[in-house]
Amino acid sequence: MPHMRVLITVKTYPLPSRTYHELVCTAGVLPDGGFVRLYPIEYRYLPYWQWYSKYQWIEVDAEKHEKDPRKESFRPDCSTLRPVGEPLDTKDKWRKRREIVLARGAQTMEQLYELRQTEGVSLGIVRPREVYDLVVEPDDREWKPRWQSLFQQQRLFGPQQKPLEKIPFRFSYRFACDDPRCRGRHKMMIADWELGQLFLRMRDQHGDELTAVQKVRQRFLDQMCAEDVDTHFFVGTTAHYGTWIVLGVFWPKK
């Protein structure tokens, strides 16, 4: 099984699973600048010493995922997972992070659409020309009944189940690419774990969901997409439908 060294750049909000406690899509950058997806990882159920942060190197044995045709998807042997050193710092406008994350430059969604068709690409980093808005839409407040019944079974017969709250809103970016073919109509859902955590923390702190939504807008739009910020989106396709979504934001100062 190949041994990998990966700079973690993405952790998505956990989703229920019939096979595992829950699933977290983790993605990152290899030393040569290529992207890789490590899936599945039951992050919250790992021993604490194996927990890793964004922009921290990890080492892990992983093999091509036999049930996931996406070319960057690898199945990790989590027993071998080991964080290495501290997360890369943000000094000098994220210089250390930039050297790895942008080693191969950024792309446009139009380019990624083509690369998916010709080379099976399912991960990339996009530098939007303009971010128009952060769209907030109501979503189901509870997990689907099949997941709720699964949680009940796990609580009764399995190991201790950690609470997994459903975020009752969908957050999406509306943006335009710096590509002559772009019509400025991209609308892509955000799956970043950081966004979900921020919403729940602000809701609990202020006791109000609308205030929590506003706090998310302030960070993910007003701060991460500010005029003095060199905003990039980590993007990837979903496993079942192939839809492109925003997995995280890379936002050093210009």
| One pLDDT digit (tens) per residue for the chain, 254 residues | 789 999 999 999 988 766 667 778 899 999 999 999 998 898 988 999 999 999 999 999 999 988 888 999 999 999 999 999 999 999 999 999 999 999 999 999 999 999 999 999 999 999 999 999 999 999 988 877 766 666 565 555 555 677 788 999 999 999 999 999 998 889 999 999 999 999 999 999 999 999 999 999 999 999 999 999 999 999 999 988 889 999 999 999 99
Same domain (yes/no): 63, 121: no
Residue whose tokens read 């039951």: 42
Look at the chain and report how many structural domains it folds into. 2
pLDDT at 109: 97
Are residues 180 and 117 part of one domain? Answer: yes
Instruction: Answer yes or no: is 128 within a domain.
Output: yes
Q: Flag whether 36 is in a domain.
A: yes
* Statement to judge: residues 77 and 158 lie in one domain: no
- Residue 213 is predicted with a pLDDT of 98
Instruction: Note the pLDDT of residue 23.
Output: 79
The pLDDT value given to residue 77: 95
Structure tokens at 108: 């446009």
pLDDT of residue 149: 62
pTM assigned to the model? 0.92
* Shared domain check, 117 and 33: no
The reported pLDDT for the residue numbered 14 is 87
Domain containing 154: what range? 106-250
Q: Do 116 and 79 lie in a common domain?
A: no
Return the amino acid letter for 37. Answer: R
Residue 50 lies in a domain: yes
Residue 162 pLDDT = 74
Say if residue 115 is in the same domain as residue 175: yes
CB proximity list for 195: less than 8 A, separation 6 or greater: 13, 171, 216, 220
- Indicate if 234 and 121 belong to the same structural domain: yes
> What is the rounded distance in angstroms from the CA atom of residue 22 to the CA atom of residue 204?
23
Residue 98 maps to a domain: no
Q: Is residue 60 part of a domain?
A: yes
Instruction: Looking at the structure, tell me whether residues 134 and 210 fall in a common domain.
Output: yes
Check residue 148 and give its pLDDT: 62
15 with 137, same domain: the answer is no
Task: Let me know if residue 162 belongs to a domain.
Answer: yes
Same domain, 111 and 80: no
Whether residue 125 sits in one domain with residue 64: no
Residue 123 sits in the same domain as residue 70: no
Q: Is residue 10 part of a domain?
A: yes
Any idea what the CATH number is for the domain that residue 7 is in? 2.40.50.730
